[in-house]
Structure 1
Amino acid sequence: MLDMFRYNWQVRDDWFEWCRELPAEELSKERTGGMGSILATLFHVAKGEQIWINQMQGTPVLIKEGVTTLEEAEGFTELTKPITEQFLQSWDEEKAGQTLTKKRRDGSDYVITYEKIIKHLISHEIHHIGQLSIWAREIGRKPVSSDLIFRDY
């Protein structure tokens, strides 16, 4: 599991680098889909990772409400990565089978395995990488390559 997070972090870092060439207005410009902007989407994937990992660890969730700069989004990512990495370094079948109980909007409980949460986090980021790629093309820029085959992670 950790190798897929490392892959996603590498792609995310490349997106941060890609974003440095854009004006701040372009990063926060309201767009259709995703979380509404490039900046909000990059922050959203790190925030989701942080919330779920901390819930599984039973540690306080360090929710940060929104960011206004690329540097803030990147800083939040860098704060989140080591927490996730430490959690996943001890990954085994026992941990994969552990569960977290959450409440649905209707008040009923649902139980989710840690394995499913981790798989969700991996696929969630990949989903948003696709959204960023679409927005890149819409503004006439080549998106970051997310080709797993040609990445060393």
Structure 2
Amino acid sequence: MLSLFKYNWQVREEWFKWCESLSEEEFYKERVGGMKSIRETLIHIIDCELLWLNSLVDGKVAFDGRQILTHLSEIKEYSSFVQSLTEQFVEQLPSDYEFKIIEVQRQDGSLLEFTQKKILAHMITHEIHHIGQLSIWAREIQRKPISSDLIIRHFE
């Protein structure tokens, strides 16, 4: 499980580097689909990782600067913070994580039940989904997207 998170984090870091050469206009520009901008999509990826991690741990973890994530450097700091928490959690997974049930309360108050394994799998695939959106936007502005080809990467 940890190796797939490492894959996502490696691809995410390359997207951050890719964004360094973008103009602010392109970084913030409202687009069709996804979370409406490159900036918002990157923040959303990290927000959701923390949201789901919080469903797995005792006590909620917050990022103090979340409301003022304006610059890429601040988003990278947020990413590092969440990544370290996720990595620590995954490294300490109990042997029964495939069967351990977690109750998640929805905004409407209803409860859903998932195994820790399913939540972790969702966290991984959620990021992959949004990386696809970033790739589409990269092509729309005539820029080469970051390759997310798992088979050729070294991340373990």
Identical counterparts, % of pairs: 47
- Displacement of 1:19 in angstroms is 0.3
TM-score of the superposition, structure 2-length normalised? 0.92
Whole-Å separation in 2 of the counterparts to 1:107 and 1:80: 26
Structure 1 unaligned regions, length at least 5 = none
CA contact (8 A) 2:8 2:127 kept: yes
Are 1:113 and 2:76 matched, yes or no?
A: no
CA contact (8 A) 2:104 2:113 kept: yes
Whole-Å separation in 1 of the counterparts to 2:15 and 2:108: 37
CA contact (8 A) 1:40 1:66 kept: no
Whole-Å separation in 2 of the counterparts to 1:66 and 1:119: 29
User: How many residue pairs are counted as aligned between the two chains?
Assistant: 153
For residue 96 of structure 1, give the secondary structure of its aligned residue in structure 2: coil
- List structure 1 runs of 4+ shifted beyond 4 angstroms: none
Task: Identify the residue that residue 72 of structure 2 maps to in structure 1.
Answer: 70
For residue 65 of structure 1, give the secondary structure of its aligned residue in structure 2: helix
Bigger shift: residues 137-146 or 99-108 = 99-108
Q: What is the correspondence of 1:1-153 to structure 2 with a 5 Å cutoff?
A: 1-62=1-62, 64-65=66-67, 67-153=69-155
- Displacement of 1:58 in angstroms is 1.4
- Displacement of 1:136 in angstroms is 0.1
- Displacement of 1:65 in angstroms is 3.2
Structure 2 unaligned regions, length at least 5 = none
The one-character-per-residue Cα deviations of 1:49-80 (angstroms, maximum 9, x if unpaired) are: 11211221112231523621111111100111
Whole-Å separation in 1 of the counterparts to 2:77 and 2:93: 25
Query: 2:32 is matched by which residue type in structure 1?
Result: T
CA contact (8 A) 1:8 1:122 kept: yes
Quote the RMSD (CA, aligned, Å). 1.4
